[in-house]
Amino acid sequence: MTGNHEQLQRDAKDHLWMHFTRHSSYAEADVPIIARGERAYIYDVEGNRYLDGLAGLFVTQVGHGRAELADAGAKQAKQLAFHPLWSYAHEPAIELAARLASLAPGDLNRVFFTNSGSEAVETAWKLAKNYFKLRGKPGKHKVIGRNIAYHGTTHGALSITGLADIKAPFEPLVPSTFRVPNTNIYRAAEITGGLMDGSDPEAFGRWCADQIDVAIRAEGPDTVAAVFLEPVQNSGGCFPPPPGYFQRVREICDEHDVLLVSDEVICAYGRLGTMFGAERFGYVPDMITSAKGLTSGYAPLGATIISDRLMAPFLEGEETFYHGYTFGGHPVSTAVALANLDVFEAEDLLGNVRRNEAAFLATLEKLKDLPVVGDVRGTGYFYGIELVKDRDTRETFTTEECERILYGYVSKALWSEGLYCRADDRGEPVIQLSPPLTVGQAEFDEMEQILRRVLEKASQML
């Protein structure tokens, strides 16, 4: 390591507070420092290459090193580097809002720009409460999410999140949030208390959806404002919805005058092979929260996309939605987003995902011959591999085994072998894969081969 590298390590350890990071892990180890990216690969400062199996963080849809996106941002910065959307507008924000409205399902035609997914979720909850107050229903303020689901880090978004461990340090959080079962069909027997074993996906989906109805009735329909659901739930390891699930949820929300928010911070912009995840599963929500893939990470931007009817009360008299962000809808970010969507169209990235998703899944399913692999699930270019202690009984890892095997070995070994992805135990222990939408069979094979080498050894550690 050169002197410059050594200085970088010292400065990283002494001054940089990394996100969601156990810093003690680097007391005796180097901090991985990423220097550049090219197509589906990233390179560290020492020149080592890694396949980006997570698209950064479910973000880099078009891959790394796209000059056209960088050029779009630079061109916009030279023309207008900044102006807020507080009572004023600028061309890239207007053009992007109109473009997203043309792509979104149903009457979701209003776009409120944010900086991130957490802020998009925060916006949706605040709007839901404000909307019902204007409709003469001030008691409707509660929200429902799913067990183990992650919706963000701001106080409101974290309150909706269903992960106790990451909430506890920041409590008390915003009150009036409640959880219902998720759709992990691999764990259907546990989720339903033995009522179902998952062999009838449609019945399981109906049961899961009906728990939302139970929760709304228990709290009182006149107190519940919204339900927040991801099309494919991320945390816990990529839970697709069973057949008919979202159609039943839509019925329940309509019956009780509750808003359905489709949290698509991960699932929008091609991740599931459609521009929006709701399209993939045939439902029309009242709001879509999004971020990440909107710019493929070339600039920060989020968007809450809203039904016309939710905007209607704010078009009358002196009504105002007293909410906003200094950098929301930044000119450079919105210009980059437009260039990103141009790449989607020019290279048919949605079609690429749909044409190759079956091959991606089939390649990952080869790993089921390993004793440690219990389930492989997901949709599009978004998959989770659940690891188990005993495949026959589906017994999961203990806390000690997660520390020793998942974090102590698997996560580090995958990186050493040249694959960047996520090993996680929020819920059951899983490995998540979410590569750029540009990849194909060669990259699928590379992922499978690296995973196989690492998981074969992990199987021996049980």
Check whether the bond before 92 is cis (ω within 30° of 0).
no
pLDDT of residue 1: 43
| Residue 382: HSE in the Cβ half-sphere, 13 Å Cα cutoff | 31
Output the tens digit of pLDDT for each of the chain's 462 residues.
445 889 999 999 999 999 999 999 999 999 999 999 999 999 999 999 999 999 999 999 999 999 999 999 999 999 999 999 999 999 999 999 999 999 999 999 999 999 999 999 999 999 999 999 999 999 999 999 999 999 999 999 999 999 999 999 999 999 999 999 999 999 999 999 999 999 999 999 999 999 999 999 999 999 999 999 999 999 999 999 999 999 999 999 999 999 999 999 999 999 999 999 999 999 999 999 999 999 999 999 999 999 999 999 999 999 999 999 999 999 999 999 999 999 999 999 999 999 999 999 999 999 999 999 999 999 999 999 999 999 999 999 999 999 999 999 999 999 999 999 999 888 899 999 999 999 999 999 999 999 999 999 999 998
pLDDT of residue 64: 98
* Residues 436 and 352 sit within 8 Å (Cβ to Cβ): no
pLDDT of residue 129: 98
Interacting residues of 312 by C-beta distance below 8 A, sequence separation 6+: none
Q: In a 3-state reduction of DSSP, which class is residue 375?
A: strand
Residue listed under structure tokens 């809808």? 329
How far from each other are the two terminal CA atoms of the chain, in whole angstroms?
36
Calculate the alpha carbon distances from 208 to 1, 227, 251, 267, 439 in Å.
Answer: 53, 13, 14, 20, 34
3-state SS track over 121-148: HHHHHHHHHHHHHHCCCCCCCEEEEECC
* Euclidean distance between CA atoms 363 and 446, whole angstroms: 10
Radius of gyration of the chain (CA): 22
pLDDT of residue 247: 98
The length of the chain, given as a count of residues: 462
pLDDT of residue 3: 54
- E runs forming strands in 19-174: 34-38, 41-44, 49-52, 108-114, 142-146
Domains and CATH numbers, the chain: 32-65+348-460 (3.90.1150.10), 68-347 (3.40.640.10)
* Euclidean distance between CA atoms 110 and 304, whole angstroms: 8
Helices (H) and strands (E) in the chain, counts: 17, 15
Structure tokens at 324: 């906003």
Residue listed under structure tokens 């089939």? 362
Residue listed under structure tokens 């002494």? 14
| Residue 141: HSE in the Cβ half-sphere, 13 Å Cα cutoff | 11
Interacting residues of 459 by C-beta distance below 8 A, sequence separation 6+: 370, 371, 372
Which has the closest alpha carbon to 296: 354, 328, 262, 342?
342
Give the containing element (helix H, strand E) for 424: strand 422-424
Sheet-wide strand order for 259-263: 108-114, 302-307, 287-290, 259-263, 224-229, 142-146, 177-180
* Euclidean distance between CA atoms 224 and 260, whole angstroms: 11
Q: In a 3-state reduction of DSSP, which class is residue 34?
A: strand
Neighbours of 93 (CB within 10 A): 24
Q: In a 3-state reduction of DSSP, which class is residue 179?
A: strand
Calculate the alpha carbon distances from 15 to 10, 18, 31, 170 in Å.
Answer: 8, 10, 12, 23
* Residues 232 and 281 sit within 8 Å (Cβ to Cβ): no
Interacting residues of 439 by C-beta distance below 8 A, sequence separation 6+: 40, 381
